[in-house]
Amino acid sequence: MPREKPATGKIYHVYNRGVEKRNIFLNDRDRLRFVYSLTLFNDSSSATNIGYFFDIKSIEIRLQYPRKKLVRVLAFALMSNHYHLLLEQIAGNGITEFMRKVGAGYTNYFNKKYQRVGPLFQGKYKAARLKNERHFIYLPYYIHLNPLEAIEPEWKINGIKNPEKALDFLASYRWSSHQDYLGKMNFPELLDMGLLDESFGGPKQYQANITEWLRSENYKEMDKEVIIE
């Protein structure tokens, strides 16, 4: 896919996976460290990298100083060997700079923790611009459905066999923005929810919409142009 230079004011689906498709998140501390990176490095100023140990039961992601954000993080989902982000660029070269910081910071953390060297990610991140209203409305649902790979690995090809089980799993899965849009404050410091929340119509309507979208298998009709895998 040809790389398009991100433009300010535009929204992009951003994706990357581990080199050789290796796992980049080995446990919840790793996942929390990546979410913290998405929060900490969303700043045009330099940020001090942090240590690699977290108390998963007690840590809260709260930054006590003002930031000049590079992007708005509208939605995200983390899987074992890849991630999906929905980003709006709000500063010149914002996505490029943000992803550089996040990629370098998390790779340094991971390599130090697991005593390895070399690249962690499979080249540069991929980014696809959302070009129409349909992309904007439905791509967040698609991103939030991605963790279903853990319980139904072939859902994108064969469909979702048990919608109720799928919805229950997603509601309990911490490592995406799905819970936040359901009305549970999971990672509020990370997300800029206003734009999507207004489009969804609030938590109850979001729940109804994603349920209908999942049951009708509309995810099979998503444009390959913006899905990127």
Alpha carbon separation from 168 to 172, 197, 201 (Å, rounded): 6, 21, 21
Number of domains in the chain: 2
DSSP character at residue 81: S
Report how far residue 177's alpha carbon sits from residue 90's, in angstroms, rounded to the nearest whole number: 20
Taking only the tens of pLDDT, the chain with its 229 residues reads: 445 688 899 999 999 999 999 999 999 999 999 999 999 899 998 765 554 444 445 445 555 567 789 999 999 999 999 999 999 999 999 999 999 999 999 999 999 999 999 999 998 999 999 988 888 888 999 999 999 999 988 888 888 888 899 999 999 999 999 999 999 989 988 999 999 999 899 999 999 999 988 888 777 776 666 677 6
pTM of the model: 0.90
pLDDT value for 168:
95
Q: Among 129, 152, 173, identify where a domain stops.
A: 129
Q: Which amino acid is at 14?
A: V
Q: Give the angle 146-91-179 at the CA atoms, nearest 5°.
A: 30
pLDDT of residue 157: 80
Domain membership flag for residue 17: yes
Domain containing 117: what range? Answer: 11-129
Domain assignment of residue 39, yes or no = yes
Nearest partner of 87 among 103, 98, 100, judged by Cα: 98
Tokens (6 digits) for 218: 């509309």
Q: What is the amino acid identity at position 183?
A: G
Q: How much is the pLDDT for 218? A: 72
Give the C-alpha separation, 4 to 32, whole Å: 30
Residue 145 and residue 181: Cα distance in Å, rounded? 13
In a domain, 188, yes or no: no
Is there a single domain that holds both residue 96 and residue 167? no
Instruction: Give the CB-side neighbour count of residue 124, counting CA atoms within 13 A.
Output: 12
Are residue 105 and residue 122 in the same domain, yes or no? yes
* pLDDT given at position 136: 86
Q: Do residues 117 and 150 both lie within one domain?
A: no
Residue 84's alpha-carbon distances to 21, 126, 141, 173, in angstroms, are: 15, 10, 12, 15
- Residues 100 and 162 placed together within one structural domain of the fold: no
User: Is residue 5 in some structural domain?
Assistant: no
Please tell me the distance from the alpha carbon of residue 213 to that of residue 217, in angstroms, as a whole number.
Answer: 6
DSSP states along 121-185: BSSSPEEEE--SHHHHHHHHHHHHHGGGGGT-TTHHHH--S-HHHHHHHHHH--SBSHHHHTT--
CATH number of residue 100's parent domain: 3.30.70.1290
